[in-house]
Structure 1
């Protein structure tokens, strides 16, 4: 059955064009000319997702969202604002009321469809969780069914220790659990036939990794290694289900993690394919501020080879680029660390 979309938009041209796009994408679409009509249609149509303009006669988009968020049958439906208004106050007000996303007019068709698809997939994930029930006859679940506090639960878990540069798992090995870092730093990477690495991501304290194999029941498609001495937990599928069942915020974390990783991978591919060595290096340095442990403000402690492998360039090319950035007063460089001096200028590097 096609997913149902309610489009609330007072501009006839925008309303008709957007409805046509959605219908071509196999959505069942209902439209409303203004906010008041939109609320009435929503209560009878019960859509899977709502797309709503902000500036409308009779009742604006904020009013629509506020009313629907207090209507039990509609309060959990994803809500996307379609608007030309993008100032900070409007965004903040919408998010406080519970909006899921903003799309700025004019927009690309693909942008609209991606936003809808992303929100609907999140809803589907929650529906799967709601339908899951523990089997009272399963002794494994019985021992896990009362996990009320994730921190208390982890305190009882075995902690595995990996020394610096020790491999955690290898490509091609199937995993029956995922990993959660207690403290330390881990990299995941791919190696080509010549042994050259390309680092796909970094993970640090209280971050999960290795979940692709765990979720898809397939062998790991990459390798992982501890960059510093690292302690981590190994969590089985049964344990994850039990934890999620009594700690709903963990499910949000997983969904955000998967979505963020997908976005990061796509951005990384685009950057690698189309950007210069200078820009790739600048963007990677900025990204690492969130991933790598810092000694002081904006100081990243990372080896040159790990940085080069993160960018996908030769070490010699990296050294030349870092020298140029240093001369341009964008960074400071020591033998074991890099300090970012000017983030805005780094973001503008081409």
Structure 2
């Protein structure tokens, strides 16, 4: 893949030297002679990475970064400052504005190429589309282990073993740790005044638990219970918060995960409000089948009936009747070990 780099530099000789180095490394380079032109070029044709001088007429590098960060189409482009100033104040100003890196002139060409290569590789990973399925989340965190920021998050953290039915945290407790599921399954749920349980999520290997209360600095609003023997890494709150504030890429990814969770919950509420029990059960089975298909090789959904009914928002008796109907219609198979979808296509048609 050939990457497009926008170089914003007012010193023509410096710009030519940098461009020649980048072109030798097979990058496509576009040059902007000042900040205003650079902003216009970035907005009209967003590049894969921006190299920008700080001290420029018309609009300096800080102004360029400020404007591009406000534009959704350019906010996520890797941005590297070039400057002849090595003052720590300038460095901190640039990083606080959201710069990804900072190179002090004069610099070695190899060092420049290494920084660019690392930033592009990191950006390619971070813009990879991951969903909420166990495979997606697991793939995300297996790839994050290649990044130094995430290596710091999981290094030398205590690993605890939990038994089935153990509570990891309870509603109302003040969070002090972030939990990462190395092995096993955990459900999160709320209980109403009548003691009825509403499951808010089923979580598997490769997923974090409890990061929303940590980010919002509030008590847990749900319970987390282990559904099968599990191994969970405990990450101290201070380490998590430090990483979130020090790594723009990490923060963006957690924000994306949070927005996905909100969207999923909104869709569930809409389903409960407007779909029939039959449609809600079909929808839940399809989602669970997709979520756990990469975990259970035989395709079995092994979640307990009462937990499925809590996800669907109906009584267990109604769930059992609907499952029996689905079995009679040849849509699913039921055994003592769990449920298995036989005709996902016909289940999907029930939703429309």
TM-score between the two structures when normalised by the length of structure 2: 0.58
**Corresponding residue pairs, total:** 237
Q: Partner residue of 1:341?
A: 342
Q: Partner residue of 2:199?
A: 199
CA-based RMSD of the aligned residues comes to 3.5
Q: Partner residue of 2:159?
A: 159
Q: Partner residue of 2:190?
A: 190
Q: 1:204-256: CA deviations, max 9, x gaps?
A: 11211112221112111111100111111222232114445776653343122
CA-CA distance at 1:329 after TM superposition: 1.6
The secondary structure found in structure 1 opposite 2:285 is helix
The answer to whether the aligner puts 1:311 opposite 2:312 as a matched pair is yes
Structure 1 CA distance, aligned partners of 2:172 and 2:196? 17
Structure 2 CA distance, aligned partners of 1:204 and 1:166? 15
- 1:128–1:225 CA distance, 2 compared to 1 (3 A): farther
Structure 1 CA distance, aligned partners of 2:45 and 2:205? 37
Structure 2 CA distance, aligned partners of 1:261 and 1:219? 18
Q: Partner residue of 1:150?
A: 150
Q: Partner residue of 2:266?
A: 266
Structure 1 CA distance, aligned partners of 2:38 and 2:47? 16
Structure 2 CA distance, aligned partners of 1:166 and 1:286? 28
Contact 2:39 2:68 survives alignment (8 Å): no
- 1:334–1:65 CA distance, 2 compared to 1 (3 A): farther
Q: 1:111-157: CA deviations, max 9, x gaps?
A: xxxxxxxxxxxxxxxx97949xxxxxxxxxxxxxxx93634763511
Q: Partner residue of 1:300?
A: 301
Contact 1:163 1:229 survives alignment (8 Å): yes
Q: Give the unaligned 5+ runs of structure 2.
A: 1-34, 53-63, 78-94, 100-146
- 1:168–1:67 CA distance, 2 compared to 1 (3 A): closer
CA-CA distance at 1:341 after TM superposition: 1.8
The secondary structure found in structure 1 opposite 2:231 is strand
The secondary structure found in structure 1 opposite 2:228 is coil
Contact 2:98 2:248 survives alignment (8 Å): no
Q: Partner residue of 2:224?
A: 224
Q: 1:37-73: CA deviations, max 9, x gaps?
A: xxxxx957969x97xxxxxxxxxxxxx4456976864
Q: Partner residue of 1:329?
A: 330
Contact 2:154 2:235 survives alignment (8 Å): no
Structure 1 CA distance, aligned partners of 2:343 and 2:288? 15
Contact 2:166 2:225 survives alignment (8 Å): yes
- 1:270–1:159 CA distance, 2 compared to 1 (3 A): same
TM-score between the two structures when normalised by the length of structure 1: 0.59
Structure 2 CA distance, aligned partners of 1:281 and 1:198? 15
Q: 1:151-194: CA deviations, max 9, x gaps?
A: 47635111122100111111111112221111111100011122
CA-CA distance at 1:200 after TM superposition: 0.5
